[in-house]
Amino acid sequence: MSVFMDRLRSGLIRNRGWVTVLLGLFGLVAIWALLNLVIGGKCEQKCVIDTLAQTLRQVTPIAFAALCGVICERSGVINIGIEGMMLMAAMVGYAFNLLVFQLLKDSLGVETAGNVSRIVAMLMGVLSTVLLAWLHAVVSIRFKVDQVISGTVINILALGFTGYIYRQFLAQNVPAGPGTFPLVSIPFLSSIPFIGPILFVQKPLTYIMLIAVFFIHYMLFYTPWGLRTRAIGEHPRAADTLGVDVIRMRYINVLWGGVLAGLGGVWFTLEAVDVFNPGMTNGLGFIGLAAMIFGKWTPIGSLVGAIIFGLGSSVTATISIFRPDIPSQFPQMLPYILTIIILTGVVGRAISPAASGQPYEKQ
């Protein structure tokens, strides 16, 4: 019997990626049951489709945050500043969206100007997070400051800076902007019943996120870059002795992580809503980290984790619509409580890349 258990256990551990995915799917079903229980089966097909589509939208920033976390931590750098990075990108994206639109709308016409301004805004937002990521990298890699502290500094800096710029320039007398990215419907695939409207009628960032998940998964497990990244996060000295430039790879990976966080950040102001509020990221950066832990530092696992949390959010919204008698605050608490439960009940122990959190000392 114990031999069987041992085999089962090691089999589970070996395929932990898939186990996580399966458990995640089970979690989704459980949440679904909860939803139906609470609103008493009043959710018809259209409601289901809408909820799921909304879920995928909510998943986008969380998944980007998780992907940023995956790349950084796999390289050995803990990044808890993702929340601040996303906030910065949101503000910068919002600001540039307005700015560029105002500059171009007369010469290019409203629609073209809007498209251009949104793309420029996205790029500038990503640039701002790359700068923050660079700061985090320098402080924690070169100056060897404790990475948790360094990430906190990023968060505080972002809060302060965005708050300041917002109050100083963006709170009053703001001209009209071009609005958020429009929904893009993929021609053939969106007509597939049920799945079509959920997966293939989304805004651009969501598509980018889905592609990114699978792309990064491939990169991490099938390419030299991925092999080296995993090595420097587990045993940097071993990689170093074999000629891998640990410090350089860590820098570059953290910067790429910044790109991902930036994409997640601009989602707030370029896809979700057309305004910026201080602190509007509301903890999604941290939820992204929880999704990463849930997913055992794999991109696909993180996506599943993000879906669970995203589902929590949209279930919240749906419950609020159908049951106005429940004080809105309780459903709103759901995603956060869910995060805590998931965090504590993760399969086995969450073992992070062995060298994450430790600055690398070349002798």
Partner 1 sequence: MSFALEASGITKSFPGVRANDHVNFAVEHGEIHALLGENGAGKSTLMNILYGLYQPDSGEIKIDGQPVRITSPHDAIDKGIGMVHQHFMLVSPLTVTENIMLGQESLVPGTQALQQLARLDHHKVAGRVRELSKQYGLEVEPDAVVQDLAVGAQQRVEIIKALYRNANILILDEPTAVLTPQEADELFIIMRTLVGQGKSIVFITHKLREVLASADNISVMRAGKMVGSVRPADADQNKLAEMMVGRNVLLQVDKAEARPAGTVLTVKGLQVFDDRRHMAVNDVSLEVRAGEIVGIAGVQGNGQTELAEALTGLRPVAGGHIYMLERETSHATPRRVIESQTSHIPEDRQKHGLVLSFSVRDNMALCTYYQPPFAQGLEIDFSAIDERARELVERYDVRTPDIMTSVGSLSGGNQQKVIVARELTRPVKLLIANQPTRGLDVGSIEFIHQQIVNARDNGAAVLLISAELDEIMSLSDRIAVMYKGRILETLEAKDAVREQLGLLMAGVMKDGMHV
Partner 2 sequence: MSNIPVARANFSWRRLAGDFWQLIKMPALAIILAFAVGVVVILLTSRSLTTVGEAYYGLLRGALFKQRGFSETLVATIPYIFLSLAVAVGFKTGLFNIGVEGQYTIGSVCAAWAGVAFSGLPAIIHLPLVLLAGALGGAAWAALPGYLKARTGAHEVISTMMMNYVAFRLAEFLVDGPLRDPLSSGVQTSAISPAAELWKLSAYPARLQDPLNALMVALVAALLVIVLARALLKSSRFAARMQSAARRRSLYIGAGLLVGVLCFVALPPLSKAWWPFTDPYDRLHSGLFLAVLAAVGVWWLLWKTTLGFELRMVGANPSAARYAGVSITRSIILSMAISGALAGLAGTIEVIGVSICGCLPLIFSSGYGWDSIGIALLARNNPFGILAASLLFGAMRNGADLMELNSGVSKYIISLIQALVLLFVSAPAIVRWVYRIKAAPKQEDDAKLTTGWGGPL
Please say which residue, 116 or 157, places its beta carbon nearer to partner 2.
157
> Residue 83's closest CA among 289, 339, 314?
289
Q: Judging by beta carbons within 10 Å of its beta carbon (0-12, 13-18, 19+), is residue 217 exposed, middle or buried?
A: buried
Q: How far is the CB of 249 from partner 1 (least distance, A)?
A: 10
| Residue in 230, 254, 284, 291 binding partner 1, rule: CB under 8 A | 230
Which does residue 337 bind out of partner 1, partner 2, none, counting CB within 5 to 8 angstroms by kind? partner 2
Q: Does 363 participate in binding partner 1 (rule CB under 8 A)?
A: yes
Give me the residues that bind partner 2 (CB under 8 A), please: 78, 80, 139, 142-150, 152-153, 155-157, 159-161, 163-164, 166-168, 279, 282-283, 286-287, 289-290, 293, 327, 329-330, 332-333, 336-337, 339-340, 343-346, 349-352, 356-358
The secondary element (H helix, E strand) that includes residue 201 is: strand 201-202
Question: Three-state DSSP class for 331?
Answer: helix
Structure tokens at 202: 């989304």
Burial string for 30-45 (b: 16+ CB within 10 Å, else e) reads ebbeebeebbeeebee
Which does residue 111 bind out of partner 2, partner 1, none, counting CB within 5 to 8 angstroms by kind? none
- Per-residue contact string for residues 7-46; x = within reach of partner 1 by CB under 8 A: --x-------------------------------------
Q: Does 240 participate in binding partner 1 (rule CB under 8 A)?
A: yes
DSSP state of 269: I
Question: Three-state DSSP class for 328?
Answer: coil
Which does residue 182 bind out of partner 2, partner 1, none, counting CB within 5 to 8 angstroms by kind? none
Please say which residue, 148 or 227, places its beta carbon nearer to partner 2.
148
Which does residue 168 bind out of partner 1, partner 2, none, counting CB within 5 to 8 angstroms by kind? partner 2
Q: Please, are residues 128 and 92 in contact by the beta-carbon 8 Å criterion? A: yes
Please say which residue, 74 or 105, places its beta carbon nearer to partner 2.
74
User: Rounded distance, CA 80 to CA 82, Å?
Assistant: 5
The secondary element (H helix, E strand) that includes residue 25 is: helix 16-39
The secondary element (H helix, E strand) that includes residue 35 is: helix 16-39
Residues 297-356 that bind partner 1 (CB under 8 A): 354
Please say which residue, 47 or 157, places its beta carbon nearer to partner 2.
157
Q: Does 6 participate in binding partner 1 (rule CB under 8 A)?
A: yes
- Between the alpha carbon of residue 251 and those of residues 82, 127, 129, the distances in Å are 16, 15, 14
